[in-house]
Structure 1
């Protein structure tokens, strides 16, 4: 049996982790719990556990402190981090120190199980004799492609040496004899994947199709494979030394994904390297380059370049912010719009590819506006809960354009309160939107299609709609359709598939499943019970 310690400053999280997966069936005993970093490190030193699952942001000792402590003790302990969304970049950095995986709260059962099994595999391999055939025992039970994917996944993390990697490649009959290795990070556009068109099964099929198409294209430039990395895909190519070829390959991947699969992908190309040992550096540079995509449109190809800092521009951001605050106090709407545009340009440059820097600059703008208004005696209706929600919503903006739309909406909303003219134009827009949905619910209306009708960016429209309706767009449309479905069910003799078509569902099964989710019964059951 393996021994594990669970750590989180919230006892309910520890309790949930203990119930989430079958620890005993996996051969794991939970031997300790900790609520602070110091307590965790003391228990690690005392019990020398095989596995630790811990929140990355703990009081009295961070996740980085814990993993460094494990390394200083030269223990074989494997660590899985869990983190809040806003700590994503911090958790990502922890992987460079040797963490097995990070998981974002709320923890999904399948992802935790996958991470724990990955740790078990690494622990099993670490205990095998380095010269024994037993080293390949884990791999022998898997097909060749799976073994290769796992090997390169470990190479990107830097937890396998080049000699061992070459032995495994030799055992698999794989020869990588071209001069260079390049690593791409590939991100599927999040809005497309979260607007309701892709369920879990469809997502798996899509990722399978994307991987197959990418691997087919790799064959024209060299050899390689595609592996899954959290929400993104990682493409590894063994090729000759031309970097221009890699840009061409990435562009072909992007274009063919859009043409054949109708999905936008953003691709970042890491710094090319010349050995298996350095693949982890190529991967890290690809991930760092992907961070710059936040400031680009979906479907961009980005190549690694060396960037210098822009700290000297911080004062420009601060000056632009103060100018906006003064114009809000003066109720100068036209000037505020111009100053916001300048502020966003300065933030873009100052952030130097960092989403976190851009988000915090935007959050600082909103908080400072509210505080300055309070100091000059102008009261506005912004609750602490709303202020907290601002930061969360900004972190969820997948592009800088979405962040600027959100900030513009919030600043203009504050300005409306200050000037006493708040809401009249927005109320008219919402009235038109609700009427449009009521008239077109039978059609395939989407968030994007209505956003274009009111000349809004889809990201902005999503926030705008939820702000006024207190529910998201998809749920609102579903409720409208279900309301009309009940009317048709109770007042007509139409069959279920006919009602489905009448309320905008081409798939009767999907309609029935949604109806049951809303009312607890299938359509025919609902009708029978109501008539009886």
Structure 2
């Protein structure tokens, strides 16, 4: 149950808010009232409520000053400001200083309840993000150690995956595991290449195959660099990163740029090779990374489900129509939403995923080109070779012969 204080110099307004709305039905308990801002601030400091409903014009300390004082004292709560029409500039000032919602008098009970519920939702989200950031910060050393051990023994630890998820660092997707958020790129790179703030290990398993069956060379890394680096800085450092990684792990590196900390939603179409990703200034296909100071909305479930279908059915005759029939949405809505959310089209995503998979198969020297084409969803070997050359810069046969060391 959330606790609330009402601060208003009009007695009848306080009574009306307290008596005419069944706050218990909304899981809210009024724990105090005050007739001016100064008394309200004293109540807030003593009772530490979750929510305050406050008038904007009051004696001793007005609503704007009250909000400023709460902010200065670092008290985490939501504030709903009430104002008359002529006091709108005051209400605007309160919003600019941290108030969550405002309403014009006379007050409509339904509107007040709706504003309070919005304010509580924002408060809960803010507290969740702060808690997640704190967990991530405190867990980083242990996570780093556990992940490095997992790399050494070439196995995936379910407990580690859960731990990462609890810290808001990783989003597991069926058939695929992603580990993330290690602020120690120098473990794999020369310290001079420490532009990479985070490393996420993605096991390239298909279906229910166990990650422990993979060798280190079959795994992919994502290097995520902070957006705070200016273009010239990170481009220069990432060129250094590319050189070092390609020297030892040709064709297994993909790069992207984002903020440190937060959740990484799985995405199939980001599996482009390192140089292509770098050339395109890092394929904008990584979901929002939340930071303690900034966070964005994650991808829509529709997009995530579409990516899961691509990862699962890329080797079949997968089309936009077949996806929309599975997800029960229109083609136009899917295409528009997917492009808006990921920055790439559905077909670009599917093609990139198929080509990346074919590159790994080619390096195994186990299958003929026509067999690989069929395995990644192409019935026409010639067409597959054309698409492959357009994306990679050489034919599938040349790629296999050269060990993938000269693809662009």
TM score, norm. by length of structure 1: 0.27
TM score, norm. by length of structure 2: 0.34
Name the structure with the higher helix share.
1
